[in-house]
A and B are shown apart, each in its own frame.
Chain A
Amino acid sequence: MDDARLTLLLAIADDEMVTGHRLGEWTGWVPYIEEDLALSSIAQDEIGHAKALYELAADLGAAPSADALAFGRRADQYRHAVLCERSNKDFAYTIARHYLYDTADEIRLGGLSQSSFKELVQLFTVFRPEERYHTVHARTWFSRLADGPVDAKHRFSEALASLMGEAVALFEPLPAEESLREDGTMPVPSEQMLGRWLDGVTRDLESFGLERVLEERSEPAIGDLVPTSSGAAEESGDAARLRVPGIERQDGRWVHTGGFEGAGGRRGHHSEEFAPLWEEMTNLYRTHPGATW
């Protein structure tokens, strides 16, 4: 198959696969059963979507099988965005990542709905009604946490702030984007999809008074523990506040300017958090070549 189309297919498939694996790590650990089923079901959907995309790539001749693509590549051959591989940390962090990813995925499904890549459009038509449940789930938790008790609101906004820069990089243009534009595979350029997504995220954040998430990203606080007036220990020194890289407010709108933080996922550059995930995800395939399950 066309190499440029393969880079697009793998970027989307790997995003879904890695997101599915991360969400699946919650199975059995969520504090109540309904939410356990929700995260597990979303994980199952995402892995199902990845499987369908890998099968398409394999059918078009990119690999001998879907499994060879899903599990038979080196870590630096995966093309997902770094955001997707971030470990779950706490529930607020997981929901922040889930919200940022699934809202971006929604924009991407829309942006590619008129693509000249017919087989991909067919799959997306089948994915979209399923993905709608994911964004409803993410938005439900968004408002519950953003409007929730102080601790929930604090943890959630800190998580959003720390992930915002890498979420922007979900829309990092693909290395082959120019040729994908020319043949109509990508009728809407990544940069334009990013603009649409940022507008939506800005609206969501503003409606809960969380716009500061766009202005600054938090770095873990470094300092000694000191007692406060209530007797509780608190970390001294404010958490370092840095600008979220890559975005800027212009004429009342948040827009992308310049580069991408954590860029390179689309070219196979990943964070240290991907190595253990890759190790686990591909273990069976590597240990027992040719195994079926």
Chain B
Amino acid sequence: MRSALDGVMDPEIPACSITDLGMVERIKVTSEVLEVDLLPTFVGCPATDMIRRDVEKALKAIAGDAPVIVRFVWDPPWTTDRITPEGRKAMSGFGIAPPLLQIAVPCPYCGSRETFIESEFGPTPCRTIRYCRSCSNPFEGFKRKE
């Protein structure tokens, strides 16, 4: 079941799986049922419904006749600290700077720290727009949430 969930990618950051993002809170496998509790990331994220659909599909493929239950729960609250080291690496490779405490996050293209936030708001609720002074590229960063 773990590996089935590892194969479900975030529709907006297809390099990261939902396990990379720390969205999987609890799984339960018995001979009767496959159950998973997921944590939504940003509340207004429209990808949530797509993720539910993709998880259902992935689990049904391995469930045989057992029913599949996919639930979104709010407790504990999801934070960006739940993103795994592999997830952060994949995110950076995709061109999105993973969330960091400091303002000057390294540029995902050239690695320079000569960067600044251009806007706290980006193309999705979870992203900011940043700019790299070294390679003159604008880039996206994952918004911190804690």
Q: Are A and B subunits of one complex?
A: yes
B145: which of A40, A41, A129 is its contact (CB, 8 Å)? A129
How many Å lie between the Cα of A44 and that of B75 in the bound state? 22
B83 on the A face (CB < 8 A): no
Chain B residue at minimal CB-CB distance from A52: B43
B129: which of A37, A42, A49 is its contact (CB, 8 Å)? A37
**Binary A-proximity of B92-124 (CB < 8 A = 1, otherwise 0):** 000000000000000000000000001111111
A117-132 interface (Cβ within 8 A of B): 119, 122-123, 125-127, 129-130
A127: which of B43, B45, B119, B146 is its contact (CB, 8 Å)? B43
Q: How far is the CB of B44 from chain A (nearest CB, A)?
A: 2
Say yes or no: A41 contacts B122, CB within 8 Å. yes
Q: Could you tell me how many residues of chain B have their Cβ less than 8 Å away from some Cβ of chain A?
A: 23
A275 on the B face (CB < 8 A): no
B120: which of A44, A52, A126, A136 is its contact (CB, 8 Å)? A136
Contacts of A224 in B (CB 8 A): none
How many Å lie between the Cα of A127 and that of B78 in the bound state? 11
Q: How far is the CB of B115 from chain A (nearest CB, A)?
A: 16
How many Å lie between the Cα of A137 and that of B118 in the bound state? 13
**A48-B120 contact given A122-B75, A126-B78, A130-B145, CB 8 Å threshold:** no
B122: which of A37, A45, A127 is its contact (CB, 8 Å)? A37
Say yes or no: A126 contacts B43, CB within 8 Å. yes
How many Å lie between the Cα of A136 and that of B144 in the bound state? 14
Say yes or no: A48 contacts B74, CB within 8 Å. no
Say yes or no: A125 contacts B122, CB within 8 Å. no
A32-47 interface (Cβ within 8 A of B): 34-35, 37-38, 40-42, 44-47
**Binary B-proximity of A137-154 (CB < 8 A = 1, otherwise 0):** 100000000000000000
Say yes or no: B42 contacts A45, CB within 8 Å. yes
Contacts of B64 in A (CB 8 A): none
Say yes or no: B77 contacts A130, CB within 8 Å. no
B143 on the A face (CB < 8 A): yes
Contacts of B124 in A (CB 8 A): 41
Contacts of A130 in B (CB 8 A): 42-44, 125, 145
**A48-B44 contact given A37-B129, A130-B145, CB 8 Å threshold:** yes
How many Å lie between the Cα of A130 and that of B118 in the bound state? 18
Chain A residue at minimal CB-CB distance from B146: A129
B41-79 interface (Cβ within 8 A of A): 42-46, 74-75, 77-79
Say yes or no: A123 contacts B121, CB within 8 Å. no
Say yes or no: A41 contacts B77, CB within 8 Å. no
**Binary B-proximity of A237-278 (CB < 8 A = 1, otherwise 0):** 000000000000000000000000000000000000000000
A208 on the B face (CB < 8 A): no
How many Å lie between the Cα of A121 and that of B146 in the bound state? 16
Chain A residue at minimal CB-CB distance from B119: A34
**A44-B125 contact given A38-B120, A130-B42, A136-B120, CB 8 Å threshold:** yes
**A37-B44 contact given A126-B77, A130-B145, CB 8 Å threshold:** no
Say yes or no: A42 contacts B121, CB within 8 Å. yes
**A44-B143 contact given A34-B118, A133-B120, A136-B120, CB 8 Å threshold:** no
Contacts of A47 in B (CB 8 A): 44
Chain B residue at minimal CB-CB distance from A32: B119
Q: 3 tightest CB-CB pairs across the interface, nearest first?
A: A48-B44, A38-B121, A34-B119
Q: A48-B42, A119-B74, A130-B43 are in contact. List 14 more A-B contacts (CB 8 A).
A: A34-B119, A37-B121, A37-B123, A38-B121, A44-B46, A44-B125, A45-B44, A49-B43, A122-B77, A126-B43, A126-B77, A127-B43, A130-B44, A130-B145
Residues of chain A whose beta carbon lies under 8 Å from any beta carbon of chain B: 34-35, 37-38, 40-42, 44-49, 51-52, 119, 122-123, 125-127, 129-130, 133, 136-137
Could you jot down 5 A-B contacts, CB within 8 Å? Answer: A44-B46, A44-B125, A122-B75, A129-B146, A133-B121
